[in-house]
Structure 1
Amino acid sequence: MTAGGWHPSAFNQFVVKVHSRCNLACDYCYVYESVDQGWRGQPPVMADDVFAEACTRIRDHVQRHAVPATGLVFHGGEPLLAGAARLDRFAATARRIVGPVTSLRLGLQTNGVLVTPAFVDVFARNRIRVAVSIDGDRAGHDRHRVTKAGGGSYGRAVAGVSALAEAGLLGGLLCTIDLSNDPVTTYDALAALNPPVVDFLLPHANWAAPPPGPAGAFGRWLVTVFDRWYRADAPRPRVRLFEEILTLLLGGRADTEAIGLAPVRVAVIETDGTLEQVDALKTTYAGATRLTLRGGGNPLDAALTAPSIVARQIGAAALGDRCRPCDLRDVCGGGNYTHRYDPATGFRNPSVFCPDLMTLIRHIGATVRAELDPILRKRRTHVA
């Protein structure tokens, strides 16, 4: 604990890079198309002993800090390139080492095109929930998410989604927003796949590499999706970003990197066992994900006092002068940390998507107030 009373929050989400290469060539990829090309020096696949050591460190960390629930996500690159047998061994290792000391949830993030019955069997046997990246309909998806030969990946990705959904293993869909894609068409195509949840992701941009389009364009795109989703007949998927904004507007707490002031509690473990920060930071500058650790012992424990981790856990104190007095501060939270980067001033800046976040948050707030005000007026009249 510091002199001011702050103390770090232990990690409770671990992104484990079991394979550092990919079978697709998505042109917006934050790993392969960013300024940080550190993936080239990583082993293609994580060795069994490296994974077991990572699990031991995770176990010791969550046990020491009494973390009640822990997530471990198999990630890449494309994790399915590691093979079904290896993933089966890894899942069993994680359950054996980490499972006894915390409620362990296993997940996996994939592009979906390599899903086969053998993988589905592994996921089912090990209770692994799988999230798939899908960017809307075929045209929207295949605009960026292409094979090494340049062909589209939509058909195989959707087949993977269907196989996972049929087995009850689909955790959700991730969609990176492209202003070229119609928002309603995009939402409807995703909703038609019947996912439990959809994550709409702003493309990773910053003040040195700003997003395309005029200021506020991504916010207006999301407003259109919100209106479609909010007024849709049930059943409908959860949309994480919208639900988190609603929760924060109503005084609740959202545990996310995208918005809000909750401490970031995610650690990334590369295929060589190296501990790093979230890898979206690779889009800012080479080496941005590296951690400076002091002392020996478990690197996960040491990382909690690393300046770059502390900056992502201290909430409003880490925001710049323009963000701290903003009336939307506690909802926006400065936006995604990656999107605040400016080579001249670091990360103490508003998000490069600030106008977009303001547009979306104010619209959602106005929509909710329009529905609640008549109810509250009626209640006040009845009480009087």
Structure 2
Amino acid sequence: MTPADRAPHGRWPDDLLDVAALRAAGTRPLPFREFVVKVHSRCNLACTYCYVYEAEDQHWRAQPHTMSPDTAAQVCHRIAEHAAQHRPESVRVILHGGEPLLAGTGLLRAIARTLRAGLPAGTTAEVVVQTNGLLLDDAVLRLCHEEDVKIAVSLDGTARTHDRARRDRAGRGSHARVAAALRRLAAPEHRDVWAGLLCTVDVTADPLVTYEHLLSYDPPALRLLLPLGNWTARPPGRTADPAHTPYGQWLATVFDRWYGTPGPPVRIAFFESVLDLLLGGVTRTETIGGAPCQLAVVDTDGALTLSDQLKSAYEGADRSGLDVHRHPFDALLDHPGVVARQLDARALAPPCRACPVGAVCGGGHYPHRYRADNGYLNPSVYCPDLMALIRHVADVLRADLARAAGARR
């Protein structure tokens, strides 16, 4: 019997997970390796699907606009403290928002320097700014080169697709300005600070047109994200009909082009993880495969939160009641919302544990499992799409391996 089976009533995991019993039975926490630091709580875009401003949780309104220097220094101290306790080889710190470049290069530079100066010997830091690209200028690029900071940029496809959702507060599309930033990043002198593109899938857009447009900027990597949604607030196009799999078909179409293109393909962690998992390996992303979550988020006021993406579920879903001024990151490790995401298959709904592709899917992305009556003890709202995609990739891989075996005979 798993922890998820023992209590029939309430929300998973907050009401049902007995953390003390798990610890007594020998289940140990995994330290955080990735830290999302909200350096600015406002944005210069008004994206229609934004999980910070357009979802159930509106706590951003009470947050300081910019993280104060004192809070930023304390965040760095707490990350270094956590690293000294657990001695990881590396940590990843994502400077996030809102729009992080609104915080100014001075604060970003101070964080990068303070963080690295405080880490114990043997632990390195990868620092990444996740930006919409509108404020990318010479000062930002100079910061990136001088402080070894990477830039990841959001782009949802062609101008028509991107501008449908990612508009500024005056209603103007942002694609042209983002494209100009990407052309700068793709230049030989700046390419080494470019981490890649992040694209939220729009199933109303042609998948191959979208993919080829993203490739036209020659990114080092692509992250394809399913829109945040759940069983209570379904994502666009995800109906109750399990035979209707628009996201699975969209991703399968892109996968075929990606997999079938000669030469080294652009890195797409989602596709790479599905292939690795089908071959008995491990996932490279938290959105597929059920890898234990080792991520913590810090708001601009220093509050420690579980994951900013949980804001898509309900008001307060991401909050822990802890903060960097009074608590170390180790205190967050025993929160039920963290423990549940480190339990692998033991925290999955019974249908997921019995599913023929469960070992590859891993229950899907945790925020996608939420339902108001029972919390996160459900399959992903994208379950039919994930199953369709995984089976498609398995068929492609099986045929490819058969051809390779035949060629060796």
Once the two structures are superposed, residues 135-165 of structure 1 have per-residue CA deviations (whole angstroms, 9 ceiling, x without a partner) of: 0111111110001000110011111122222
Structure-to-structure mapping, 1:60-209, within 5 angstroms: 60-98=81-119, 100=121, 102-166=123-187, 167-168=190-191, 169-209=193-233
**Aligned partner of residue 228 in structure 1, secondary structure:** helix
Aligned-pair CA distance for 1:70: 0.4
Alignment match of 1:29 (pick from 22, 38, 50): 50
> Partner residue of 1:232?
261
Aligned partner (choices 261, 270, 282) of residue 311 of structure 2: 282
Q: SS of 2:350's equivalent?
A: coil
Q: Is the 8 Å Cα contact of residues 40 and 102 (structure 2) preserved in structure 1?
A: yes
Instruction: Give the counterpart letter for 1:355 in structure 2.
Output: P
Segments of structure 1 that go 5 or more residues without pairing to the other structure are none
Query: 1: distance between equivalents of 2:372 and 2:111?
Result: 39
Higher relative contact order, structure no. (Cα contacts within 8 Å, ≥ 6 residues apart) = 2
- Counterpart residue identity of residue 176, structure 1: T
CA-CA distance at 1:210 after TM superposition: 1.0
Displacement of 1:48: 0.9
Residue 384 of structure 2 corresponds to residue 355 of structure 1? yes
Unmatched 5+ residue regions in structure 2? Answer: 1-21
**Structure 2 letter corresponding to 1:85:** G
Alignment RMSD (CA, Å)? 1.7
Match of 2:77 in 1: 56
* Aligned twin of 2:5: none
C-alpha distance 42-367 of structure 1, shift in aligned 2 (>3 A): same
Q: Residue 82 of structure 2 contacts residue 328 of structure 2 at CA under 8 Å; is this kept in 1? A: no
* 8 Å CA contact 2:270, 2:284 repeated in 1: no
When normalised by structure 1's length, the TM-score is: 0.95
The answer for the alignment partner of 1:318 in structure 2 is: 347
Aligned-pair CA distance for 1:91: 1.6
Shift of residue 90, structure 1, vs aligned partner: 1.9
Q: Which consecutive aligned stretches of 4+ in structure 1 deviate over 4 angstroms post-superposition?
A: none
CA deviation digits over 1:198-241, x for unaligned, max 9? 01110001001112325311100111111111112335311111
Structure 2: distance between partners of 1:356 and 1:281: 21
Alpha-carbon distance in 2 for matches of 1:100, 1:261 = 31
How far apart are residue 187 of structure 1 and its match? 0.1
Q: Deviations over 1:350-374 (max 9, x none)?
A: 1000000001111111101101023
Match of 2:404 among 355, 375, 384: 375
For the residue of structure 2 that corresponds to 1:88, the secondary structure is: helix
Once residues 129 and 351 of structure 1 are traced to their aligned partners in structure 2, the CA distance between those partners, rounded to angstroms, is: 31
Partner AA of 1:374 in structure 2: R
CA contact (8 A) 2:152 2:194 kept: yes
Q: How many residues are paired up?
A: 379
Larger CA deviation: 247-256 vs 306-315: 247-256
Q: Aligned to 1:132, what secondary structure does the other structure show?
A: strand
